[in-house]
Amino acid sequence: MKALARGWLPCLPGVLLALAALFRPWLEVTMARHMGLELPLLALLGWWAARCAGRRLTDWLAPWNAAGLPGLLAAWCIASYWMLPVALDEATLAAPAGMAKVAGMVLAGLLARASWQAAGPVLQGFFVINGVWMMLTAGLLYQEADAQLCSTYLIDEQLVAGRALVLWALALLAVWLFAIASRLAVDPEPAA
């Protein structure tokens, strides 16, 4: 049973990614689903894939990824890029941009997970807080904008997409704070 589990579990992220491809029209019909559901889902699949790959991936990256710095930086840059309305618009209208988006977001999740342990609490905190701050800002700007930012999404959809971004930012912050709190509860002074 355990051997079987080891056999098929690592395939799950890939299988789910293929499934998500089938749902692409549904996922991209509104801006909220595209930005608030599809993009985070792709990143989470990447994160999960890196978990499945485990040490093999981190060891392979390690010579180029001291303290996980380039990995986390790349993940942060990719996630920020796809929050640009003009980039999101391009991804819905042009197939190459759409593929770049899927590959990029999966890679972002993958790199973030593969770099996470090596980064240690200080770098982790830096990127989490920056990421949260950026998602909050983008989410609030989307809600405030009085012009239609994408040609494929209507102006009232920006409000919902903005709220979704704010919720993801708060969720990320909550999960991270909870993880820190539970570590501190075990060991008041965790090693770096």
Partner 1 sequence: MTRAWGKTLLMVALVLAAAGAAVFATTRGLRTVSADGARRLDLARAPRELPALVLLDQAGARHAFGGAAADKGGAPLTLVTFVYTQCTAVCRTSASGQAWLQQQLRERRLQDSVRLLTLSFDPVHDQPAVLRAYARTLRADPALWTFATVADPARLRSLLDAFGIVVLPDGLGGYSHNAALFLVDGHGRLAAAYDVERPDLALADVLRSRL
Minimum CB–partner distance for residue 72 and partner 1 (Å): 10
Name which of 13 and 71 has its Cβ closer to partner 1. 71
HSE of 21 in the Cβ direction (CA atoms, 13 Å)?
A: 13
State the minimum distance, in angstroms, from the CB of residue 47 to partner 1: 18
* Least Å from the CB of residue 68 to partner 1: 9
- Residue 6 Cβ vs partner 1, minimum distance, rounded to whole Å: 31
- Interface map 163-192 toward partner 1 (x if CB under 8 A): ------------------------------
Binding mask 52-91 for partner 1 (x = CB under 8 A): ----------xxxxxx-xx--xx--xx-xx--xxxx-xx-
For partner 1, the closer CB: 10 or 148: 148
| Residues that bind partner 1 in the complex, under the rule CB under 8 A | 62-67, 69-70, 73-74, 77-78, 80-81, 84-87, 89-90, 93, 147-152, 154
